[in-house]
Amino acid sequence: MVKIYKSSLNVNNSAILAPSVEPLTSSFANHTSAVTPSTIPFFVSNSLDLSLSAQCERASTRKYTRIYYNIQTGQVIITFVFSTIGLVFFWALVEVLVRRKITNQLYMQRLKHPRCRGVDASNLDMRDLPPEPDNQKGHFKSILHAVRSLKNGSNDKRGDDERLLSIIGLDAFMVLRFLKMSLIFCIVSTAYVMLVLVPVYYSQPSSGETIGNGIAYINSSHINKNNVTHAWVSVMSCYILTFFICGLMRYEWKHYARMRTVWLGQVRDSTRQARDDGAAG
């Protein structure tokens, strides 16, 4: 080693240190590789685990809250404006397609479609059918016409469902019921969030951290993890809304099973009547 140092004095300092550093690093690696969790004392390993987990948790918390705390009010306004423009554009596009002669047949009622004009609809009460969109007033008459078509036309809910089932069929009836269920869940969950969660988030005591905008006050990142009285509301809300949607799905499934039985009965009656008419003719 002395000869190496003397021969490398005329080169540079890095050449002097290079022969001595490599053995040290290799020996340090050998010593550290021999260290296992079993050789570390129990209290030391626990303190290391706690410190590492605390650092990771603080880093994830800073990253999570920074996403919401740095949101500017102008960004929210721009997002809302572009979403509204997209809604109006596609709504207007549907209205244009409905009024054009080339594409209006796609949006006609099934019994009034040119291909179904010869269908015998004597078993249906044509007065129960909603009018065509052309008879509606207003600029957005097609969408409003579709919304009015979902309204019940009689006081008997079961009879109205059976009438609607006989007009549009089982598949379309199931789609309408699913959309109605989704609308109910969205309305209820929105009301729950605005009346329960937003006040809880906003009433969180200040942690001393500077918040740049008011949006950060009304989301879950504003809740301090040590504040149990506010944190349990978010957890219970997840269970409440989950049980609510499960109850809605169970109710709709039972209703669909009953209406499927009604539909199969209608199909058998129609088939039997057609067979009798053919035999009589």
| Residue matched to tokens 């009965």 | 265
Burial 194-205, CB ≥16 within 10 A → b, else e? eeebeebbeebe
State the pTM of this model: 0.54
Torsion of CA 164, 166, 172, 177, to 10 degrees: 40
CB 232 within 8 Å of CB 90: no
Torsion of CA 263, 266, 268, 274, to 10 degrees: -140
Span 57-89, pLDDT tens digits: 554 444 444 455 566 777 778 989 999 999 999
| Residue matched to tokens 């003397």 | 6
Q: Assess whether pLDDT exceeds 80 at residue 15.
A: no
CA 233 to chain centre: 21
Lowest mean pLDDT across 106-120, 212-226, 234-248, 251-265 = 106-120
Span 117-154, pLDDT tens digits: 555 444 454 445 555 545 445 555 656 665 655 554 44
Residue 142: CB atoms within 10 A of its CB come to 22
Write down the number of H helices and E strands in the chain. 9, 0
pLDDT of residue 142: 59
